[in-house]
Amino acid sequence: MKIAVYPGSFDPLTNGHLDIITRSSKLFDKVLVTVLTNSTKQPLFSVEERLDLIRRTTKHLKNVEVESFSGLLVNFAKEKNCNVLIKGLRVVSDFEYEFQMALANKSQMPELETLFLPSAQEYMFLSSSIVKELARYHGDLTGLVPPEIEQDIRNKF
Ligand code: PNS
């Protein structure tokens, strides 16, 4: 069985994330969407809230599971016997950071491969930070986040 881990902070999930999850679910037998802590960011949503938002929006994808993990991503991958990480790439600025992460993760687990999926063109500018900024000032979130979680995001502000 081919398993892939799609890690992130998902604070909150966006349509860009959902697009990567959907495409990955067609490439692998199982995709584990994993909520992890990014030590450089102060999250708006609790881990439990993020899990709930992701579960509600991916429940139609039968080979997608959603979990959280605290600690190093490679330890989660080892625990799950998985050696493929999926990362979405938007712009050139993502590449530098993600390349560094891929090599750092590989230094801890040499058999681990990071697969980069290019973002869909319509989501190239999209990030959880942009969504939070728009929501904070009552901007239009149509097409940027799954409709079933839009109100949860608005309720935070
Ligand atoms: O969505 P993000 O914020 O870009 O996701 C980054 C994340 C959470 C995947 C990354 O920070 C991470 O893997 N955190 C867990 C700790 C870890 O393993 N760091 C990488 C090795 S230094």
The string of DSSP codes covering 76-118 is HHHHTT--EEEEEE-SHHHHHHHHHHHHHHHHH-TT-EEEEEE
Domain range enclosing 20: 3-155
Domain with residue 23: its CATH number is: 3.40.50.620
Mean pLDDT value across residues 130-140 = 97
Q: State yes or no: cis peptide before 12, omega within 30 of 0.
A: yes
| Cα of 62 from ligand 1 centre, angstroms | 25
Grade residue 38 by pLDDT with cuts at 50, 70 and 90. Answer: confident
| Cα of 43 from ligand 1 centre, angstroms | 13
- The share of the chain scoring above pLDDT 90, in percent, equals 94
Number of structural domains, the chain?
1
pLDDT digits 0-9 by tens, 80-98: 999 999 999 998 889 999 9
Annotated catalytic residue 154: no
Q: Is the pLDDT of residue 146 over 90?
A: yes
Which pLDDT value is given to residue 37?
87
Tell me, yes or no, if the pTM score tops 0.85: yes
Which pLDDT value is given to residue 43?
96
- Catalytic choice (23, 55, 90, 106): 90
pLDDT digits 0-9 by tens, 40-61: 889 999 999 999 999 999 999 9
Annotated catalytic residue 128: yes
Annotated catalytic residue 138: no
Which pLDDT value is given to residue 10?
98
